[in-house]
Amino acid sequence: MMNTSLTQERIADYCEEYTAIIRVAYIRWRIHCHYQGILNNDSPEYHQEKIEKLTAGTDTHMPKIEISEGKKYFKIIVDRSCHAFVNKHNGDVHKAASWKQPVKDARYNILDDVAREHCFNSVDPFGSYLYK
């Protein structure tokens, strides 16, 4: 049996990685949207400037992505909206049912290597990968 505090520490580390992946997914989505603006000849200079800022990491309009620790869950928050819940004890990843509560069924488990890889490779900025 694994030490509980070490397990929670691993889960917390994976949550940090998870938030970084959500941030990258958001940046990729924004770049895609700006490329569409260029292709549509809709203020291409503006869109090119935004792409350059996004790729340089200097864009100031990024969502605030944070982790809030509760009794049972780490809450992944993106711009004052609950993105997901991660169970602190077993690593289950849940879609948010509301601000305070996850859905019953876990979508992934970040302690399982295969499930974590699938989760992290499926991330989008909107949480659609959390729907069954």
Give the whole-angstrom CA distance, residue 114 versus residue 110: 9
Per-residue pLDDT tens digits of the chain, which is 132 residues long: 456 788 999 999 999 999 999 999 999 999 999 999 999 999 999 999 999 999 999 998 889 999 999 999 999 999 999 999 999 999 999 999 999 999 999 999 999 999 999 999 999 999 999 998
Question: In the beta sheet, which residues pair with residue 109?
Answer: 92
Among 76, 67, 132, CA closest to 104: 132
Distances (CA, A) of 100 to 1, 33, 56: 30, 32, 35
Structure tokens at 13: 């580390």
* 101 touches 5 (CB < 8 A): no
Structure tokens at 112: 């399982």
